[in-house]
Amino acid sequence: MAYDPATKQLVLFGGDTSDGLVADTWVWTGSDWTEQSPPSAPSDRSAAAMAYDPAAKQLVLFGGDTSNGLVGDTWVWSGRTWAAQATSAEPSPRAATALAYDAGIHGLLLFGGQDEGAGQLQFLSDTWEWTGNTWAKRTPSAHPSARASATMTPDVNGRPILFGGVGGSASQTVYDGDTWTFSS
């Protein structure tokens, strides 16, 4: 779920219900939820990342866990429909990644998440930048440890702040309680 100031909508997409994964889009009207019927939409999924990019004026959704496994696709919400983005580069398929706007790069910053490499749960520590039409891998000299389910949001200066998450290995879970700032 993320707020889209361009369309003045709080948008919720997908999730996991008692009946399984869903691919529905809901908009908060200020007093009630309204289900949308977009002509195009991502597949059913949970644990996707979504954030608004004010530089590109886009609400962006990335990845998630679908009924067919993890995906690494990128979608943009127009206020009425979803549009798949054909990108020249993109992060590997993953779920539970952190995504937030970074005023220093004038784009979105994506960090970590989890994948299922070789049939085993693996936590990721890579960093990617959304440029408004494609992804570019970044290689910061210092970065958080591999993790999924971290929270990331811009601070008052527009710098992404990342907190917490779950890391470790498939056999030993580690709950992270550290805080990181990203500087461009």
> Where residue 167 sits, what CATH number does that domain have?
2.120.10.80
Q: Which of 57, 154, 55 is nearest to 106 (CA)?
A: 55
pTM for this one? 0.95
Q: What is the pLDDT of residues 71-125, one digit of tens each?
A: 999 999 999 999 999 999 999 999 999 999 999 999 999 999 999 876 778 999 9
Please state, in angstroms and rounded to a whole number, the distance separating the CA atoms of residues 100 and 62. 12
What domain count does the chain have? 1
Q: What range defines the domain where residue 8 resides?
A: 2-181
Q: What is the pLDDT of residues 23-50, one digit of tens each?
A: 999 999 889 999 999 999 999 999 999 9
Report residue 35 as tokens: 């289900």
Please state, in angstroms and rounded to a whole number, the distance separating the CA atoms of residues 46 and 113. 13
Q: Which of 57, 1, 58 is nearest to 24 (CA)?
A: 1
